[in-house]
């Protein structure tokens, strides 16, 4: 796999809604090589504070452009949101091991994949849905309120069927997206399904448990604070059946049954 | 016309000859293979590996790192595959690089483990030097070897009898007088001292009311600690004769030069490797330029050559 230190030019950096932002930058090398589930390490400015890069999931690529969506939650992401078109950002990528998915050609296999996104977790799953050619995965989106729902249109334009859960019930199912998943699995025959998920850790833990109870394979994309992002510092480890694994290098995507959290 | 030779960046640390004085610090460079493709590893002055213990160690409970103002805390806890797997799986890649390889070692329970490790490494010709990590702050110990001059002296004296390889003693800044520990290392036969290891530190999440690290506290590194490190290098330089490998928040050529002027013979880049994996090579060319521009033929012309500050 090709990974490089790059200077990339920001094409656009706009607020989507709430605290969610959409960043597009020019980088043919990353656009060519990126796979769904991989991420980039972005230096948000050239100063020493904040010191570390920020790991951001790749949301999509088109031509020589790379798209990221991120939530402004602290100083680093705040500074990133201030970097307008024309600014050059220091980026390393693509990094990590992405999702494993097959190219589905058999019609009977259609709908065999379920994508579960919590909040910002939609970021890599849109990219994944795009690359699952021939398959139209069922997408479950979980959000705080209807205002927080991200990427519904993008999934729709990919031909995905969408179900929504909101914490306050302002759209779709009222409650957790994992309860929606549980309901779905109890009513629909999903024996062929693989569940792909990205979102907050409690959600991912629940997805792993539900998948296991239903004898389904799951692939979960984890998020961690990272110092390096390329496997050197051993800072971002997660506990697995075979000991600690680096989220940045051995992941960020792990099989649900491997994780002991 | 004969091309004028460039400035001489080579330095000697005990029996160790470095073509340039820029090394990468233990724990920040893995076993080098992690950086393969991100920079030309062969250009480095030397590589210091992540610390090896006799048995594999799984390391500390996550979260293991957190960012702090112009710095970071880490508490990795010496996660490593153990000496056997290191020699089998990691050393072959390092050997192929053809540059000096320095192996960092540590004991877990008994300082005697250093002797076992040193005897094993002594037999491997591809290993240029051994760095004694007697200053890791993340082992939940009440006292580190490097926090006691007598223990430091005893350990190095014992090791000196076991190996003729260059011994580098890595010192902790979490002491009353780092010069006293450096002196003990020199008297016991250490070929060089490396300083500083991380400063003990802690960061708290006030919303959760928990420490930000799984092991409560960790070691602070990055540019935030640089002035502390420069002062300690200067203090030690004025007390000892053996070479100093200076480190602590080196981010660029200018910060590297601070350490040379304070008395370091070589420097190590640490935390900066995480942010810019190619920074060591930038520093090497930056040093060449600084020397060429200033008409400085040899690094020895700047090491410890501080002048008084006059307003």
Res B311: pLDDT: 83
Interface touch B38/A249, C-beta < 8 Å? no
Question: Which chain A residues touch B37 with a CB distance below 8 Å?
Answer: 2-4
**What digits encode the pLDDT tens for the residues B193-216?**
999 999 999 999 999 999 999 999
Core vs surface per residue A129-161: b (16+ CB within 10 A) or e: bbbbeebbbbbbbbbeeeebbbbbebbeebebe
Domains and CATH numbers, chain B: 11-301 (3.20.20.70)
- Tell me how close the Cα of B274 comes to any Cα of chain A, in angstroms: 4
CB atoms within 10 A of CB A170: 15
CB B209 within 8 A of CB B191: no
In a domain, A253, yes or no: no
Enumerate residue ranges in chain A where pLDDT < 70. Answer: 1-2, 103-111, 190-191
Asked whether residue A52 falls in the same domain as residue A158, the answer is: no
The 3-state DSSP class for residue B259 equals helix
Residues A17 and A124 in one domain: no
Residue of B nearest to A226 (CA): B65
Give the torsion sign (CA, B236, B68, A15, A157): positive
Q: Which of the residues A73, A79, A227, A239 would you substitute to probe the B interface, choosing the one with the greatest number of B C-beta atoms within 10 Å? A: A227
Contacts of A236 in chain B (CB under 8 A): 62, 64-65
The complex's ipTM works out to 0.94
> How large is the angle between the packed helices B253-262 and B226-237, nearest 10 degrees?
30
Cross-chain Cβ contact A90/B276 below 8 Å: yes
Query: A116 and A85 in one domain?
Result: no
- Residue B216 contacts A, CB cutoff 8 Å: no
Q: Does residue A251 belong to any structural domain of this protein?
A: no
Rounded Cα–Cα distance for residues A205 and B69 (Å): 32
Per the CB < 8 Å rule, is B71 touching A51?
A: yes
Q: Are residues A91 and A111 in the same domain?
A: no
Residue of B nearest to A49 (CA): B70
Interface touch A5/B59, C-beta < 8 Å: no
Instruction: Please check whether residue B214 touches A, CB under 8 A.
Output: no
pLDDT, residue A106, reads 52
Residues A41 and A70 in one domain: yes
Give the chain A residue nearest B59 (alpha carbons).
A244
How many Å lie between the alpha carbon of B286 and the closest alpha carbon of chain A?
18
Q: Do A228 and B76 touch (CB under 8 A)?
A: no
Q: List active site positions of B.
A: 136
Residues A13 and A84 in one domain: yes
Is a pLDDT exceeding 80 seen at residue B1? no
Q: Is A49 on the interface with B (CB under 8 A)?
A: yes
Q: pLDDT for B29-64, tens place per residue?
A: 999 999 999 999 999 999 999 999 999 999 999 999
pLDDT of res. A196? 97
Q: Residue B296: pLDDT above 80?
A: yes
A198 and A114 within one domain: yes
DSSP B241: -
Question: Of A32, A60, A95, which closes a domain?
Answer: A95
A206 assigned to some structural domain = yes
Per-residue pLDDT reduced to its tens digit, B171-194: 999 999 999 999 999 999 999 999
Residue A197 lies in a domain: yes
Interface contact A51-B28, CB threshold 8 A: no
A246 to chain B, any CB pair closer than 8 A? The answer is no
Owning domain of residue A189: 107-223
Collect all residues of chain B within an 8 Å Cβ-Cβ radius of residue A239.
62
pLDDT value, residue A107: 52
* Whether residues A216 and A142 fall in one domain: yes
Residue A102 domain-assigned (yes or no): no
Rounded Cα distance between A221 and A255, Å, is: 9
Nearest to A23 by CA among A95, A83, A93, A64: A83
Radius of gyration of chain B (CA): 19
Q: Kindly determine whether residue A233 and residue B274, on different chains, have CB atoms separated by under 8 Å.
A: yes
Q: Do A233 and B71 touch (CB under 8 A)?
A: no
Say yes or no to pLDDT of B15 above 80: yes
Residue B268 corresponds to which tokens in the numbers above?
């190590």
CATH number for the domain harbouring residue A85: 2.40.30.10
Nearest to A69 by CA among A117, A21, A34: A21
Residue A165 contacts B where some CB pair is shorter than 8 Å? no
Question: Is A63 a domain residue?
Answer: yes
pLDDT tens digits, one per residue of B244-254: 999 999 999 99
Kindly state whether residue A126 falls inside one of the protein's structural domains.
Answer: yes
Do A130 and A218 belong to one domain? yes
The SS3 call for residue A198 is strand
Q: Inspect the interface and report whether the beta carbons of B79 and A244 lie closer than 8 Å.
A: yes
Q: Which two tokens stand for residue A76?
A: 């680093």
Provide the domain count of chain A.
2
| Position A130 in a domain | yes
**Residue B10, phi then psi, degrees to nearest 5:** -75, 145
Is residue A143 located within the same domain as residue A176?
yes
Q: What pLDDT is stored for residue B268 in this prediction?
A: 98
As a whole number, mean pLDDT of residues B232-246 equals 98
* Substitution target from A41, A76, A237, A239 for chain B, most B beta carbons within 10 A: A237
Verify that A115 and A200 share a domain, yes or no.
yes
Question: A95, A122, A156: which is the final residue of a domain?
Answer: A95
CATH no. for residue A122? 3.40.50.80
Q: Are residues A24 and A76 in the same domain?
A: yes
DSSP 3-state assignment of B160?
A: helix
């Amino acid at each position: 796999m090709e990974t490089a230190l790059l200077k990339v030019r920001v094409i656009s950096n706009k607020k989507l809604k709430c605290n969610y932002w959409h960043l597009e930058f020019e980088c043919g090398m990353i656009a060519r090589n990126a796979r769904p589930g991989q991420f980039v390490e972005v230096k948000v400015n050239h100063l020493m504070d904040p010191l570390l890069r920020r790991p951001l999931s790749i949301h999509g690529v088109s031509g020589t452009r790379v798209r990221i969506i991120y939530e402004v939650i602290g100083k680093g992401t705040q500074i990133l949101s201030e970097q307008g078109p024309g600014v050059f950002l220091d980026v390393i990528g693509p990094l990590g091991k992405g999702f494993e998915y097959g190219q589905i050609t058999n019609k009977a296999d259609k709908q065999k994949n379920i994508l579960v996104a919590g909040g910002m977790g939609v970021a890599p799953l849109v990219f994944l849905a795009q690359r699952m050619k021939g398959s139209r995965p069922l997408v479950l989106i979980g959000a705080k309120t209807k205002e927080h729902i991200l990427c519904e249109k993008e999934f729709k334009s990919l031909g995905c069927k969408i179900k929504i859960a909101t914490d306050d019930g302002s759209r779709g199912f009222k409650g957790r997206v994992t309860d929606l998943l549980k309901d779905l699995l109890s009513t629909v025959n999903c024996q062929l399904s693989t569940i792909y998920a990205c979102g907050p850790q409690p959600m991912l833990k629940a997805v792993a448990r539900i998948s296991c109870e239903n004898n389904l394979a799951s692939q979960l994309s984890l998020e961690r604070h990272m110092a390096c992002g390329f496997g050197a510092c051993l800072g971002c480890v997660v506990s697995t059946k075979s000991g600690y694994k680096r989220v940045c290098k051995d992941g960020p995507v792990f099989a649900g049954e491997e994780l002991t959290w | 016309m004969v091309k004028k030779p460039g400035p001489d960046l080579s330095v000697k640390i005990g029996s160790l000859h470095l073509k340039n004085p820029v090394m990468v610090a233990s724990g920040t460079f893995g076993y080098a293979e992690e950086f393969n493709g991100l920079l030309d590893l062969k250009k480095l002055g030397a590589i210091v590996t992540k610390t090896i213990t006799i048995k594999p160690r799984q390391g500390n409970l996550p979260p293991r790192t957190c960012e702090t103002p112009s710095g970071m805390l880490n508490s990795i806890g010496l996660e490593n595959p153990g000496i056997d797997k290191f020699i089998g799986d990691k050393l072959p890649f390092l050997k192929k690089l053809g540059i000096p390889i320095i192996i960092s070692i540590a004991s877990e329970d008994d300082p005697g483990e250093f002797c076992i490790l040193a005897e094993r490494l002594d037999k491997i010709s591809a290993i240029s030097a051994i760095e004694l990590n007697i200053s890791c702050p993340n082992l939940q110990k009440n006292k580190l070897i490097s926090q006691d001059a007598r223990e430091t002296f005893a350990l190095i004296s014992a090791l000196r009898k076991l190996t003729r390889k260059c011994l580098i003693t890595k010192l902790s800044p979490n002491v009353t007088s780092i010069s006293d520990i450096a002196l003990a290392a020199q008297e016991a036969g250490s070929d060089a001292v490396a300083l500083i290891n991380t400063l003990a530190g802690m960061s708290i999440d006030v919303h959760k009311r928990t420490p930000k690290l799984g092991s409560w506290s960790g070691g602070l590194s990055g540019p935030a600690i640089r002035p502390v490190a420069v002062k300690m290098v200067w203090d030690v330089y004025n007390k000892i004769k053996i070479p100093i490998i200076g480190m602590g928040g080196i981010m660029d050529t200018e910060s590297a030069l601070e350490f040379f002027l304070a008395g370091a013979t070589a420097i190590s880049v640490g935390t900066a490797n995480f942010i810019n994996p190619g920074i060591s090579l930038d520093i090497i060319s930056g040093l060449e330029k600084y020397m060429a521009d200033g008409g400085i033929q040899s690094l020895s012309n700047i090491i410890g050559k501080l002048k008084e500050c006059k307003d």
